């Protein structure tokens, strides 16, 4: 199984490198259409007007600034292909339709949107293999002030007690200059390192576009972590305070944000923790994050995710013991129990075939518009965690699952997997895309 997965992953990477065709989606989450259509005769004509219908919450300028097609400029094929993708990436619409029509010897773009209800009190949930289910009240806004600014706040109790808030503005200046500010206060039992953690974490991320698909930026993180057990922290007073500064560069050519069918999402992230920044700990960390969505046919997608994280230093000296990686479970290698492998470095690879049982579509419930879709999936995971003192141990798992595509959390996963010898079929539940969660999981 392991050798088979490795061969398939290499073949997929090569295949994706040479696949460059891009289709144009007419509706968020729906199938692409052939470039041979009547609108081709409009290419080259001047855009005379942009008309937007059904706006209730969003400011018109937020839509206009995202469009590649602009009034007074020629209507081009490349611009037409980008318009729907750009609006979908705002994450505030359940449906987008763009129709160019000829008028006054030019082109008028008629845009019809269905806005996802922007503000909602929520039942906030977090599921981890280590701490189980945490649940509590929350609030989520995906379109604050009608400017596609997202804000969330929650208090979760159960397996872990977490107070959290985040604020993200996708474009406040320059070329999509964005920021994301996150705050988390956690009180939980660290099952793998055997201590009770009380921590506060603040993260500020700034980013900008490089051309159409390039991304560049940096982020500052501050983690203050206290332990009830001596010897866990690097500091003698049982509390570490560790600042880190990072730089990242990435590439995002996904066709859709809600349910990608084609394209890449890649990022290299390099961070310095402690050292010259002060505080406890002194190590470098590098993330290599590759995600590929390869269309096979209408409704059929092959997804490939690969995350490799490397750290300098020695665990217990420069690297705190709680900053190593533990593999096994919903957000790493499915079919294996938590802490089936551990080390200061990790590599997690996933190959997943997806079939759209229901293409995401908009629904109105009590006057509120949301989208909903369903996917069936077959998957295989292959991963390893290692450091200087331990030998390599590869873990592989495979199985099947169901994906629910909904706003506010993007994806809910129900997976059934085989992997660990003697464990049989395991049931696993996850919130959010696995590629995102394996990167964001708590250590």
Q: pLDDT (tens digit, 9 = 90+) per residue, 177-186? A: 999 999 999 9
Q: What is the pLDDT of residue 368?
A: 76
- How far apart CA 253 and CA 264 sit, in angstroms, is 5
Mean pLDDT of 102-123: 92
| Least trusted range by pLDDT, from 18-22, 116-120, 226-230, 359-363 | 18-22
CATH 2.40.160.50 domain locations along the chain:
117-440
Mean pLDDT of 137-152: 96
- How far apart CA 435 and CA 437 sit, in angstroms, is 6
Q: What is the pLDDT of residue 420?
A: 96
Name, in order, each residue with C-beta under 8 angstroms of 326's C-beta and a sequence gap of 6 or more: 192, 332, 338, 339, 341, 342, 385, 443
Mean pLDDT of 350-377: 90
* Choice between 420 and 127, residue whose per-residue pLDDT is larger: 420
Mean pLDDT, the chain, as a whole number? 89
Q: Are 66 and 57 in contact (CB under 8 A)?
A: no
Q: Report the CATH number of the 117-440 domain.
A: 2.40.160.50
Contacts of 154-158 with CB under 8 Å at 24 or more apart are 154/122, 154/124, 155/124, 156/124, 156/125, 156/126, 158/131, 158/132, 158/133, 158/134
Q: Report the residue count for the chain.
A: 443
CATH 3.10.20.310 domain locations along the chain:
21-115
Q: Report the CATH number of the 21-115 domain.
A: 3.10.20.310
Question: Over 80: is that where the pLDDT of 8 sits?
Answer: no
Q: What is the pLDDT of residue 55?
A: 92
**The tokens of 328 are what?**
């096994």
Q: What is the pLDDT of residue 443?
A: 64
Question: Over 70: is that where the pLDDT of 342 sits?
Answer: yes
Q: What is the pLDDT of residue 157?
A: 97
Name, in order, each residue with C-beta under 8 angstroms of 77's C-beta and a sequence gap of 6 or more: 35, 40, 43
pLDDT for 24-67, tens place per residue?
A: 333 333 333 344 556 788 999 999 999 999 999 999 999 999 99
| Least trusted range by pLDDT, from 114-128, 194-208, 259-273, 414-428 | 114-128
Tell the residue number behind the tokens 């999509």, with chain if given: 176
Within 13 Å of residue 38, how many CA atoms lie on the same side as its CB?
5
Question: Over 80: is that where the pLDDT of 7 sits?
Answer: no
Question: Over 60: is that where the pLDDT of 370 sits?
Answer: yes
Q: What is the pLDDT of residue 21?
A: 33
Q: What is the pLDDT of residue 29?
A: 37
Q: What is the pLDDT of residue 408?
A: 87
């Amino acid at each position: 199984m392991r050798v088979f997965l490795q061969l398939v992953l290499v073949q997929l990477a090569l295949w994706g490198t040479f696949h460059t065709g891009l289709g144009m989606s007419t509706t968020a989450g729906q199938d692409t259409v052939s470039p041979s259509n009547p609108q081709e005769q409009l290419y080259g004509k001047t855009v005379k007007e942009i008309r937007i219908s059904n706006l209730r919450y969003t400011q018109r300028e937020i839509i206009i600034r995202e469009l590649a097609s602009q009034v007074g400029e020629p209507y081009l094929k490349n611009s037409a292909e980008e318009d729907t993708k750009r609006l979908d990436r705002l994450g505030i619409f359940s449906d987008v339709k763009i129709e160019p029509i000829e008028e006054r010897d030019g082109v008028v773009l008629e845009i019809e949107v269905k806005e996802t209800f922007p503000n909602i009190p929520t039942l906030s949930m977090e599921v981890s293999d280590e701490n189980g289910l945490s649940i509590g009240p929350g609030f989520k806004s995906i379109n604050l002030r009608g400017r596609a600014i997202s804000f969330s706040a929650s208090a979760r109790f159960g397996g872990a007690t977490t107070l959290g808030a985040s604020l993200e503005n996708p474009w406040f200046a320059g070329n999509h200059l964005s920021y994301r500010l996150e705050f988390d206060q956690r009180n939980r039992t660290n099952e793998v390192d055997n201590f009770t953690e009380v921590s506060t974490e603040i993260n500020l991320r700034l980013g900008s576009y490089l051309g159409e698909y390039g991304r560049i930026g940096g982020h500052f993180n501050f983690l203050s972590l206290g332990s009830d057990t001596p010897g866990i922290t690097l500091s003698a007073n049982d509390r570490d305070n560790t600042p880190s500064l990072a730089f990242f560069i990435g590439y995002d050519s996904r066709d859709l944000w809600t349910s990608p069918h084609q394209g890449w999402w890649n990022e290299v992230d390099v961070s310095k923790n402690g050292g010259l920044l002060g505080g406890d700990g002194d190590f470098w960390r590098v993330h290599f994050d590759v995600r590929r969505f390869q269309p096979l046919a209408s409704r059929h997608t092959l997804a490939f995710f690969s995350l490799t994280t490397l750290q300098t230093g020695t665990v217990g000296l420069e690297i705190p013991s709680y900053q190593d990686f533990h593999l096994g479970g919903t957000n790493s290698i499915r079919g294996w129990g938590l802490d089936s492998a551990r080390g200061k470095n990790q590599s997690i690879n996933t190959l997943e075939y997806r079939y759209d049982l229901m293409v995401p579509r908009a629904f109105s419930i009590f006057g509120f518009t949301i989208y909903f879709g369903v996917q069936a999936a077959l998957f295989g995971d292959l991963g390893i965690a290692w450091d200087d003192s331990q030998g390599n141990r590869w873990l592989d798992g495979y199985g099947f699952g169901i994906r629910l595509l909904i706003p506010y959390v993007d994806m809910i996963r129900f997976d059934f997997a085989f992997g660990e010898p003697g464990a049989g079929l395991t049931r696993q539940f996850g919130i959010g895309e696995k590629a995102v969660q394996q990167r964001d999981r708590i250590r």
